[in-house]
Amino acid sequence: MIHSTLRGLAPLTLLALASLVAPAAAQHQSVYRLGDLEITAPWTRATPGGAVVAGGFMRIANKGAQPDRLVGGAFSLSKRFEIHEMKMDGGVMQMRPLDKGLEIPAGATVELKPGGYHVMMIDLTAPIRQGAPLRGALQFEKAGKVEIDYIVAPVGATSPGAHGH
């Protein structure tokens, strides 16, 4: 009798545990699809008071046979949105906007990450606070526009699941 009761509860217990774990796992693995493009795990960092810029990061996979280009976007707490590149030039790290956008080659994945390609949210209208995801959009040259949610990691995070520096 006890065995049959436990056996009956086990699926319910597993379901309850899964419902607690799934939202946390899902928030770091959000996937958005637009035509042949797949945008995975968009995230940004919380900002300290007075910050006027923030970076956005994600992976963009092009599953198609033709290249596309990330050419713009929007973020709910900023007045401007730009695509940027950071790279070493003569031993100095430099950041610059990519005026023609960022090519996403056919059959390739491009990672936007701290210290590399990223999007910049400029002229923030309010601090970015850790907590609920924030709405944004990405504009692609061929595929068009897709709305996404950025997970907000702690100040200084190096990945969406990181807890600080």
**End-to-end Cα spacing for the chain:** 52
Q: How confident is the model at residue 58 (pLDDT cuts 50, 70, 90)?
A: very high
Q: What are phi and psi of 10, to 5 degrees?
A: -55, -50
Question: Whole domain around residue 57: which residue ranges?
Answer: 31-153
115 lies in a domain? Answer: yes
Region 101-108: mean pLDDT is 98
8 lies in a domain? Answer: no
The CATH number covering residue 124 comes to 2.60.40.1890
165 lies in a domain? Answer: no
Residue 29 has a pLDDT of 65
- Residues sharing a CB contact under 8 Å with residue 153, sequence separation 6 or more, in sequence order: 43, 44, 45, 46, 130, 159, 160, 161, 162
* Total number of domains in the chain: 1
3 lies in a domain? Answer: no
20 lies in a domain? Answer: no
Q: How confident is the model at residue 49 (pLDDT cuts 50, 70, 90)?
A: confident
Is the pLDDT at 16 greater than 50? The verdict is no
15 lies in a domain? Answer: no
pTM of the model: 0.80
